């Protein structure tokens, strides 16, 4: 395995040649995958994420789009402050490090940054984690008794103990496997930090607010949150 960086006319591509021997802008184009009958479907709420068939693998292709109030001014352009500070580059490198450390994250395949003067656009490809569903989807189908709450808490604690801050820890970015395996995805704006109670508790509070917004019967009452905290505090679930 070797990490390759390509410089193109309009930008840069970072990729792992263990997963693809050829990297180009087409790799990040949903139209390209659609023409080759390899676009398997769109996921996510913003219309910026697709599942594609990449060789013998299934990949998740995500185009970086702004959320919240920032979308009013620009949907997918970000201020250029150097290649290493772009969102795709930072997320790719963070995921690569976490995956090598054995943390349950998707393996990065390729990242692209296209520069337009003082701004840029970006994309990221990761390997699809098979046979998983988001915590939000699991709750919609099985209710509050379905998810492995203690395992979810223990998984989050692993990341916190490793000093990993997830900027958008919510029920959509936690994946549950068929054997109750737990993964975290979407590390845009994530970073390594010195372990600290304040940011770790704020991370958990963000997840708790996310769960309350789902309006699942029984979830707002908070009966399952102590189970998650039990897993978080025990770490050995």
pLDDT in tens, 108-162: 999 999 999 999 999 999 999 999 999 999 998 888 888 999 999 999 999 999 9
- For every residue of 182-219, which 3-state class applies, written as one string? EEECCCCCCEECCCCHHHHHHHHHHHHHHHHHCCCCCC
pLDDT of residue 232: 96
- Per-residue model confidence (pLDDT) at position 47: 64
Please state the φ and ψ torsions of residue 7, each to the nearest 5 degrees: -105, 120
Catalytic residue among 57, 161, 168, 186: 168
Q: Look at residue 62 in the predicted model and tell me its pLDDT.
A: 96
pTM, rounded to two decimals? 0.92
Average pLDDT, rounded, for the chain: 90
Whether pLDDT at 221 is above 80:
no
Strand 182-184 with 78-79, pairing: unpaired
Please, are residues 96 and 153 in contact by the beta-carbon 8 Å criterion? Answer: no
Of the candidates 120, 116, 64, which has an alpha carbon nearest to the alpha carbon of residue 91? 64
Distance CA 223, CA 97 (A): 35
Distances in whole angstroms, Cα of residue 192 to Cα of each of 90, 93, 94, 159, 162: 11, 11, 8, 10, 8
Report yes or no: 23 and 92 within 8 Å, Cβ to Cβ.
Answer: no
Matching residue, tokens 């699942």: 216
Residue 71 has pLDDT above 90, yes or no: no
168 given a catalytic annotation: yes
Q: What tens digit of pLDDT does each residue of 7-50 get?
A: 877 899 999 888 777 778 889 999 888 887 788 878 865 668 99
């Amino acid at each position: 395995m070797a990490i390759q960086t390509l410089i193109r006319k309009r930008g840069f591509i970072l990729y792992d040649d263990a997963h693809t021997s050829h990297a180009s802008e087409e790799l990040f184009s949903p139209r390209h995958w659609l023409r080759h009958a390899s676009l398997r479907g769109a996921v996510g709420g913003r219309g910026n994420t697709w599942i594609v068939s990449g060789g013998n693998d299934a990949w998740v292709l995500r185009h970086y789009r702004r959320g919240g109030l920032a979308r009013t001014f620009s949907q997918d352009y970000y201020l250029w402050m150097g290649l290493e500070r772009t969102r795709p580059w930072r997320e790719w490198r963070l995921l690569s490090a976490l995956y090598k450390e054995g943390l349950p994250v998707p393996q990065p395949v390729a990242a692209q940054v296209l520069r337009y003067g003082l701004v840029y656009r970006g994309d990221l490809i990761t390997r699809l984690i098979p046979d998983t569903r988001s915590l939000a989807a699991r709750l919609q189908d099985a209710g509050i008794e379905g998810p492995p709450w203690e395992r979810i808490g223990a998984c989050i604690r692993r990341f916190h103990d490793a000093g990993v801050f997830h900027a958008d820890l919510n029920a959509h970015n936690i994946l549950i496997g068929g054997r109750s395996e737990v993964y975290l995805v979407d590390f845009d704006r994530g970073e390594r930090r010195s372990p600290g109670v304040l940011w770790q508790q704020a991370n958990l509070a963000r997840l708790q607010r996310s769960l309350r917004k789902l309006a699942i019967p029984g979830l707002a009452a908070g009966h399952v949150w102590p189970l998650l905290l039990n897993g978080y505090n025990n770490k050995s679930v």
